[in-house]
Structure 1
Amino acid sequence: VRHQSVPQVQLDRLVEDFVINATQPSSVVEEPSFVKLLKATAPDRNVLTRPMLMTRLKARFDALKDSLRSTFQKLQFVAITADCWTRFHRIYVEEEANDEDEENCQPVHLCSLIDSVEEGRHRLPPHHRCSAHTLNLIATVDAARAEAVDQEYSTIKQSVFTKCQKLWNKQGLSAQVADLIKDHCGVYVPRRNVTRWNSTFKVMEAINTFLERGTDLDVLFCKLGIPRLLPPHEPNFIKEYCRLQVMEPVCCALNALQGDNHIHSGYLLPTLDVLIKKIEYEKMAGLRYCGPLAVSLLAGIHKRFDNVMNQKDLLVAATLLARFKLSWISDEVKRNAALAAVKSELTVSSRLVESPASPLKANAAEEDFFGNPFGNECTSVSGDDELARYFLVPHNFALTELKSSFPLMHKLFLKLNTAVPSSASVERLFSVGADVFTKKRGRMSDANFEIQLLLKYNSGVCFG
């Protein structure tokens, strides 16, 4: 039976999709084996050449940009985030510039340049550091300071981590060792990423899980030539390090702030508040091994985040999330300040938008890191009717109902909660194009890199 040949237009589109989604160099379409493959499947069709492919990709990219511009023009607020990635470096300065005579440089007064610039209509929002990166610093740099202040903690921590590091190093270097670990433990040890602290925590958590299951790690360590964990202190140290005591709250907070969906600026302060309370509780309850670590973590959190804990915009942003409202603020002065800030913002918004009452609808309850650690829910507030009604909705009130039920709150929500607390979304963008960052692709032009990366990342909204 003779199958109907693929139309030329469809074949060209499939080739484009292959190059984009597989992150292939455009020259792949001229590889003899690739041409032979297409000729075998569609002998009566032409194969795209590299120039033709790039022309078509450029057209798709232009259509994508037009679509995104059209979408953005309809939005009042757009989140802007950046990630100073270092995986791939490109030098933009011409080599000849190094030979320029320094005498050609002319000093210029900066004030004269600033005074000559006309005041623009568009303003960028205030800059906020990536909270996920800051938490990574707390979990690594600040946590390491505990070893300098407590010798007992330093000794047991270094002993445990040295042995565990040998385990995951051996797994990564040998397939036979990896199979041995899986046969003995039932699963592989999670892969460690040196640039992500929570990957180290996941490794330690996996080892703790093996211990809780009763897995005989002494036998495994002996087979691999690794010194065994000395009972009872070293296994107990791992348990205290991982479980609900010290580092797990940090890991949960990090996961919450760099989540993919339903994460807004308003999550930052309540997340930090929960994190501080959890660590302080464990410190006061008494930690046998990790007390110095808890002290160092708390010091790091206060050092790196105290400057944002009382920021007006972040306080209001958290209040606009039904999950938190004002219930997470234990300090009465801070709570009153947040309430006053919300009322002030709503007063401005009410001049432009009327606030009709609408029926409320709550979504399904969501169990997660936060639970209910904030105490009593705020159930009554005087003042603006919309604000008073808003404080009566349940914590699981559907965000999709905010616009119809509370138009003033919705307008303010978009203003303060469109932004995200972490740059993880941008990092994921470049992770999508990780294959672009290879030595073989080092000569890819900036324009072609932008085309290929953004077409792949926005494959669901491409036109043309």
Structure 2
Amino acid sequence: MKSVHPGLLLSFKAACQQSSHTITTPTKRKPASDCDEVEDAEIQSRQATLEEAFQPKSAKKRLLPLKHVDSPAFIKLMRCVSPEHKVMCRQTLSKRLQARYLEAKEKLVAHLMTLKAVCTTADCWSARGKSYVGVTCHWIDPKKLKRISVCLAIRRIFGRHTYDLLGKTLESINMEFGIDDITVLTLTDSGSNFLKAFRLFGAHGTETQLETDEEEDDDAVVGTDLEFLLLDYDDADDRYKLPWHCKCVAHLLNLLARKDAEKALETPAFKLASDSALTKLQSLFNKQSRSDQQSEKVKELLGVLFVIPNATRWNAWYDAICHVKKIAEGKNGRKNLKSVCEALKVTPLNSTDYQFISEYVEVMKPIAIGLDLLQGEHNVSSGNVLPSIVVIRNSLNSLKRNHLEGANQLLVALTLVDALLAGLEKRFGNLFNVEHFQLAAVLHPQFKFNWLGNSEKDLKLRKK
């Protein structure tokens, strides 16, 4: 101050002396009882916030086991974070979870009673030696005109997945939620147990929209109820009450790509090319998935790992083949793949194998795109079904036409195109005669009549 502001030095000293003689009045403290009440209120508020943070909703979102709150590490962590608070135990959390479930169920049932129509989906599966049936419910919000979806139930079932057990379980769930009289349709896969349940117990007056003579599902387990066989067939219709039934279109496309495509193997040239390429790819996938050392070797040589396909979903296998095709088309792709095959002791892919992979991806691409669209969760409705099938059929016909005209020769996969076209007609041909799907497609603002061609059948549908 003296060197920088010498003119203000006297004023600064005077201000300091004046402030030293100033007596500050202490602030009046609240009575001890008032402080205790404030602190208690704050603690209770923070305790409530802490309990809310560990409500069942939070545990459900994180998929944590209920015993997580009893683990010593978790309790120690919370004591460090807030030692004056108490974390609820597993028993308390379980009781509150059950209370939340009953509360949510009551609200859902009350809301469902206000609706005029809903549709449901059902599925049956096994996991870790236990069997389950899951049912979801869907409807259109009359105010927002938005589709609402909820999970109604996931029930444990015992014994074989027989058609009568499925019929009994589905009926009990529908009655429990009060939707047995307003459910217009139930969607399932093509398992023969589901098909038989709805054929015997489903609503009559219309046939199952996608019914064919062939009932197939690799995972289906069909049993026989001897007591049921003693009943008259007419009495069987009244044993359980189920709504109308429809097969899942996405599941049918999976069957088209898996089952119907196998008809192409009847051609020796295609079978030879398919067995050679797919066997080598499967060997590469197995080597990578079963050994960490070989997985690291693949990463080192390719820079990426192979996409390992799922055993139950065809589109996962398609994605794995697409990934191999992408690697092969990259810089030094085939050379690097050969190095991987040699390192993993797998017979290297040859030019015929790469030709098969390229044509397979090209032919199956329309089905993969349609499958991704139809199994989407949002912005998909029954109005997308017929236009999607038409696009797939037109794409396959275009590939066949280009081959015949010499524009794009298919050296090995032409028989695959024929097999897929035959499968489309078998599985979806009758669907074009179902009025519900016709109206849904025509009334869809994205499609209207644009998906219809100039064939005699399409012209009749336009006039209709």
Q: Under TM normalisation by the shorter chain, which class is it? A: 0.5 to 0.7
The match for 2:354 among 235, 258, 268 is 235
Q: Structure 2 counterpart of 1:241, which letter?
A: Y
CA separation of 1:113/1:294 partners in 2, compared to 1, >3 Å: closer, same or farther?
closer
Q: Displacement of 1:137 after TM fit?
A: 1.0
Secondary structure, counterpart of 2:369 in structure 1: helix
Conserved in 2, the CA contact under 8 Å of 1:257 and 1:267?
A: yes
Within a 5 Å distance, the mapping from 1:345-424 to structure 2 comes to none
Pairs aligned (count): 322
Q: Displacement of 1:150 after TM fit?
A: 0.8
Conserved in 2, the CA contact under 8 Å of 1:265 and 1:318?
A: yes
Structure 2: distance between partners of 1:289 and 1:226: 23
1:92 paired with 2:209, answer no
Secondary structure, counterpart of 2:246 in structure 1: coil
Q: Structure 2 counterpart of 1:250, which letter?
A: I
2:28 corresponds in structure 1 to none
1:311 paired with 2:434, answer yes
| 1:209-267 deviations in Å (ceiling 9; x for gaps) | 11111312112211221111112x22111111113xx1111111111110121000011
CA separation of 1:15/1:111 partners in 2, compared to 1, >3 Å: closer, same or farther?
same
The match for 1:144 among 245, 258, 262 is 262
Q: Structure 2 counterpart of 1:311, which letter?
A: V
Q: Structure 1 counterpart of 2:46, which letter?
A: P
The match for 1:292 among 415, 421, 429 is 415
CA separation of 1:195/1:106 partners in 2, compared to 1, >3 Å: closer, same or farther?
closer
Q: Structure 2 counterpart of 1:291, which letter?
A: L
Conserved in 1, the CA contact under 8 Å of 2:67 and 2:90?
A: yes
Conserved in 1, the CA contact under 8 Å of 2:307 and 2:323?
A: yes
Secondary structure, counterpart of 1:299 in structure 2: helix
2:49 corresponds in structure 1 to 10
1:266 paired with 2:383, answer yes
2:339 corresponds in structure 1 to 219
Within a 5 Å distance, the mapping from 1:161-176 to structure 2 comes to 161-176=278-293
| 1:288-341 deviations in Å (ceiling 9; x for gaps) | 110111111111111111221211110110001112111211155544554566
Q: Displacement of 1:205 after TM fit?
A: 0.5
Structure with greater Cα Rg: 2
1:327 paired with 2:450, answer yes
Within a 5 Å distance, the mapping from 1:118-157 to structure 2 comes to 124=243, 126-147=244-265, 149-157=266-274
Q: Which runs of 5+ in 1 are unaligned?
A: 94-101, 342-464
| 1:330-359 deviations in Å (ceiling 9; x for gaps) | 155544554566xxxxxxxxxxxxxxxxxx
Structure 2: distance between partners of 1:225 and 1:183: 16
Structure 2: distance between partners of 1:312 and 1:105: 34
2:200 corresponds in structure 1 to none
CA separation of 1:112/1:224 partners in 2, compared to 1, >3 Å: closer, same or farther?
closer
CA separation of 1:335/1:295 partners in 2, compared to 1, >3 Å: closer, same or farther?
closer
Conserved in 2, the CA contact under 8 Å of 1:326 and 1:335?
A: no
Secondary structure, counterpart of 2:125 in structure 1: coil
CA separation of 1:116/1:146 partners in 2, compared to 1, >3 Å: closer, same or farther?
closer
Secondary structure, counterpart of 2:372 in structure 1: helix
Secondary structure, counterpart of 1:79 in structure 2: strand
1:61 paired with 2:61, answer no
What TM-score comes out, normalization by structure 2 length? 0.63
Q: Structure 1 counterpart of 2:451, which letter?
A: W
CA separation of 1:183/1:107 partners in 2, compared to 1, >3 Å: closer, same or farther?
closer
Q: Which runs of 5+ in 2 are unaligned?
A: 1-41, 132-155, 160-224, 404-409
| 1:56-111 deviations in Å (ceiling 9; x for gaps) | 11222233224434544554443311223333415537xxxxxxxx9999955564
Conserved in 1, the CA contact under 8 Å of 2:264 and 2:419?
A: yes
* Identity, % of aligned positions: 30
